[in-house]
Amino acid sequence: MVKNDTPTGPTAIEVRNLAFHYGASQALFDINIAIPARQVTALIGPSGCGKSTFLRTLNRMNDIIPGVRVEGDILIDNENIYRDKIDVVRLRKRVGMVFQKSNPFPKSIFENVAYGPRIHGMNDKGQLGEIVEQSLRQAALWDEVKDRLGNNAVGLSGGQQQRLCIARALAVQPEILLMDEPASALDPKSTARVEDLIDELKTKYTIVIVTHNMQQAARVSDWTAFFYEGRLVEYGRTKRVFTNPKEKQTEDYITGRFG
C-alpha cells in the first residue's frame, strides 16, 4: 500500500482504485496515487510489474489493444478520463507521450514537429514556424537542426531523434508528459542530455517517467513509485525512497537483490 509523504502541492493526476485487465489476466491491482504537478515522478520496478501499463492508462494508449478493461478512476483537472463521454483526442493533446524507441516519421524535421499542431487544425505557416522553433528550443535541439529543418528526421542520431520526439510531443502544448523509458536505447552522453532536458522541462510540465535505471530515477525524479507484480508497493519522495525505503520489497529492488 501507499506509504506517504503525500505530495502537498497541486496534484496533476489523481488515481483512485485503478485496476487493469488484459483479457483474463489482471495487470494492475488497486492503484492509488496522486502525481504532483510540475514535478518529475519516476515509476520503477522489475519487468512486467505493470509500470508501463500504468503509464499508458494515463493517456488511454492501452485503448488501442483489444480486450482490455479498466476499473477505478483517473482524474486529471478534476475530469475522470475513463468516463465514457471523455474525448480521447483532447485527452492525448493534454497528456503527451514519448516512447522507448524514438519514432520520428520519415519526413522532414519541421514536418515532424508540425505534425501535431497540423492535425489539430493549425495551418498558418508563420504560427507553425514559431511553434516548431519554440518546441525544438524547449527540447534543446534547435541549435543542432536550425539550418536543416527540411532534412529527413531519419538522418538524425538516436539521441537527436529522441529529443525530436520530445519536441514533437511539446508542440501540441500538453500539460503532462509521459515518458516510457525514453533513454533506454541511447548512449550515455545522449542519456545525460535527455536527463538534463527533463530537469528543464519540469518547470512547465508534469512529467511521469518509466525507467529501468535506478540511478536515472534517483537523478531526475522528485517522486518515486515502486511497482511490483501489478501493485504500487511504495510511493514517496525519491530521496526518501532510495535512502530509507519502508518496504522490504522496495529495498531489495533498489539494492539490486532482484529485478
Partner 1 sequence: MNRQLHETAAVFLLRFTTYAIVGVVGYILLDIIRHGLPVINWAFLSEMPRRAGSEGGILPAIVGTLYLTLGTVAIALPVGIGTAIYLSEYAAPGRLTETIRLAITTLAGVPSIVFGLFGLGLFVLFCQFGPSLLAGSLTLACMVLPTIIVTSEESLRAVPQAFRQASLALGATKWEAIRTAVLPYSVSGIITGAILGIGRAAGETAPILLTVAAFFLPKLPGSIFDQVMALPYHLYILATQHPDTDKVLPLQYGTAFVLLAMVLGLSLGAILIRVHFRRKYKW
Binding site for partner 1 (CB under 8 A): 59, 61, 64, 66, 89-93, 96-97, 99, 101, 103-107, 115-116, 119-120, 152, 154, 165, 168-169, 172
Three-state DSSP class for 136? helix
Q: Measured between alpha carbons, how far is residue 21 from residues 3, 131, 217 in Å?
A: 25, 39, 27
Nearer CB in complex with partner 1: 98/233: 98
The one-character DSSP state at 63 is G
Residue 164 or 198 with smaller CB distance to partner 1: 164
Residue 178 beta carbon to partner 1: minimum distance, rounded to whole angstroms: 8
Q: How many whole angstroms from its chain centre is CA 251?
A: 24
CB of 243 to partner 1, least distance (A): 35
Q: How far is the CB of 103 from partner 1 (least distance, A)?
A: 4
Measured distance CA(72)–CA(163) in Å, rounded: 34
Report the DSSP pairing between strands 223-228 and 11-22: unpaired
Nearest distance from C-beta of residue 66 to partner 1, angstroms: 6
Residue of 83, 176, 89, 168 whose CA lies nearest to 134: 168
Q: Which is nearer to partner 1, 163 or 168 (CB)?
A: 168
Indicate the residue among 96 and 236 with the shorter CB distance to partner 1: 96
HSE of 1, CA atoms in CB hemisphere, 13 A: 0
Q: Which is nearer to partner 1, 1 or 65 (CB)?
A: 65
By C-beta, is 24 or 64 nearer to partner 1?
Answer: 64
* CA 115/CA 102 separation, integer angstroms: 15
Cβ of residue 4: shortest distance to partner 1, in angstroms? 31
Set of cell numbers at residue 21: 485487465
Q: Which is nearer to partner 1, 1 or 88 (CB)?
A: 88
- Give the Å distances, CA to CA, from 148 to 105, 109, 141, 165: 16, 8, 12, 16
Sign of CA dihedral 230, 234, 235, 241: negative
| CB neighbours of residue 103 within 10 Å | 13
Minimum distance from residue 50 beta carbon to partner 1 (Å) = 19
CB of 76 to partner 1, least distance (A): 14
92: amino acid identity, one letter = R
